[in-house]
Structure 1
Amino acid sequence: MMHKNYLRRVGGNKLLGLAATGALLLAGCGDNAEVMPQTLPDYYPLSVGSYRIYDVADTVWRDNVPTASRFQFREQVLGAPEPDAAGQPVYQVVRSRRNSAAEAWRVDSVLAVTVAPLNITEQFNNRRTVALVFPAVEGKSWSYNAFNNQDSVSAVTRFYQQIDQPFSISRNGKSYEYANTITTVNDLKTGDNNNATKLIVQRTTFALGVGPVYRVSRSFKNDCSGSQGCRFPFVRNVGQSRNQVLIESGK
């Protein structure tokens, strides 16, 4: 049963430290569209004891040969949030994995989700990234890696697409439908993501009152070892493709 708890909003007008400065810069990045008059709904709800289960389709490529696997992830909030250095709540989301519904869950990793007035960030393997920026406006852009050393705060690497739109997807013969979603995608027009040597795709759809319901990540490197340069059409010399579909959530 899909839970309907909304994440907690943090009041106050003052942001402290570097994280707050980055948040303010992120909020203004690439925003040339008209701001929605209503307050942004909660597309990433978090509460103690809540969980989401994803069906994961994963494919690893070596020398253009794919090896596919299927498994499940469970993301669960086990404890109350703790404040960070700027006073913003940080939720520890424990990710567990199992190969099938018949197996027991085994802890895989921990995801730290920080809820600030102007953005929501995720930290995984000591890398903090910006999942959402307030408000959600079609075409609004920001730096996905503003809080790590891969990009600058002013870099444009993520943007909103398909704001307040319905979304449906099928998995294992079952359909999942959501009336109100927003989607974030990486900027495929930049040479850092899409060129003759590599292809990187990142896409996440968030449903109102539910959270992330669909994640796609693809990263491929072309075969450029020959004397003629990179192969065409694109050869997946190495890479990985993974998509995650939410199949259950609750508390």
Structure 2
Amino acid sequence: MNKNYLRRNGLVGLLSLSAAALLLAGCGDNAEVQPQLLPDYYPLSVGSVRIYDVADTTWRDNVPTASRFQFREQVLAAPEPDAAGKLVYQVVRSRRATAAGAWQADSVLTVTVAPLNLTEQINNRRTVALVLPAVEGKSWNYNAFNSLDTVVAVTRFYQQVGQPFSVSRNGKTYEYTNTVTTVNDLVNSINAVESTIQRTTFALGVGPVNRVSRRYKNDCSGAQGCRFPFVRQLGQSRNEVLIESSN
């Protein structure tokens, strides 16, 4: 995507910051803004399509149940400005069981592009997917616009900014030369009782290319306590790999 995307759409300029936006901009170090702007890592335009192959596993009483399916994300209409003038995209999500199956309506993902952050909203929960500047180690509040965390929480971090990334699925390897990865606070999210891992990698000019989500609750109720290897009482693991896209 052209680096002047935000300027062409009138979104670069002074921003009247809310308390949440101030926190988002202030977390992390004071490194300079990278040349790439947020939409370069999450390009959206009318007619754009992304198809993800999804490997999903649920756990109950240490018994896994695996499934495979595909998600399609489409932008079918031009974005509309919200009350603050930020562009809001409606990303229509569909699902099918196999590559040969028919697409069925699933949900709508709302993506809002602002000068200092890019947010996603699904199931009435708005989260902060990306912030400026995109620099290694920068942190922010992923749940700044919902009630899951306190307003001062720091729950998301940049890793491997500007680095190459590759991922394999169904015998094919997908490679990208310039990516950024966001990850949750692993130090406070992983322990013997339960663990949560949320990681998304965005490729320059492509968008989200790999989404990983793992949530486990281990059975520590016996006399031995938490055993290793862990006995997963409940849990879910999902890995989405982008296999086809057009912007």
Q: TM-score, with normalisation over the residues of structure 2?
A: 0.92
- Deviation of 1:152 (Å): 2.2
User: Using the alignment, how far apart are the partners of 1:87 and 1:229 within structure 2?
Assistant: 54
The Cα RMSD (Å) is: 1.8
Amino acid at match of 2:29: N
- The Cα shift of 1:8 comes to 4.1
What do the CA deviations read for 1:44-71 (whole angstroms, capped 9, x no partner)?
0000110100000000111111111100
* Whole-angstrom CA distance in 1 between matches of 2:143 and 2:210: 21
Q: Structure 2: 5+ residue runs without aligned partners?
A: none
Displacement over 6 Å in runs of 4+:
none
- 2:70 maps to 72
Q: 1:38 aligned to 2:35?
A: yes
Task: Answer yes or no: is the 8 Å Cα contact 2:15–2:115 preserved in 1.
Answer: no
Identity %: 73
Change (3 A) 1:99 1:7: farther
Is this contact kept in 1: 2:3–2:36, CA < 8 A? no
- The amino acid that maps onto 1:38 is P
SS at match of 2:53: strand
The equivalent of 1:175 in structure 2 is: 173
**Structure 1: gaps (5+ residues):** none
**Counterpart among 184, 198, 202 of residue 198 in structure 2:** 202
Task: Give the Cα separation in 2 of the matches to 1:6 and 1:62.
Answer: 47
Q: Distance between the aligned counterparts of 1:79 and 1:62, measured in 2? A: 41
**1:26 alignment partner, one of 17, 24, 27:** 24
Cα shift at 1:25: 1.8
Is the 2:176–2:203 contact (alpha carbons within 8 Å) kept by the matching residues of 1? yes
| CA separation of 1:111 and 1:5: change in aligned 2, threshold 3 A | farther
The one-character-per-residue Cα deviations of 1:144-200 (angstroms, maximum 9, x if unpaired) are 11110011232111000001001111111111111100000011101xx11222100
- Work out which of the residue numbers 219, 229, 232 in structure 1 matches 2:215: 219
Matches within 5 A, 1:1-251: 8-9=5-6, 10-15=11-16, 20-29=18-27, 31-32=28-29, 34-36=31-33, 38-40=35-37, 42-190=40-188, 193-226=189-222, 229-251=225-247
Contact residue 31 and residue 133 of structure 2 kept, 8 A: no
* Distance in 2 of aligned mates of 1:168 and 1:182: 12
CA 1:163–1:77: 2 relative to 1, 3 Å: same
**Distance in 1 separating the partners of 2:36 and 2:152:** 25
8 Å Cα contact 1:75/1:93 also seen in 2: yes
- What's the offset of the Cα at 1:5? 7.0
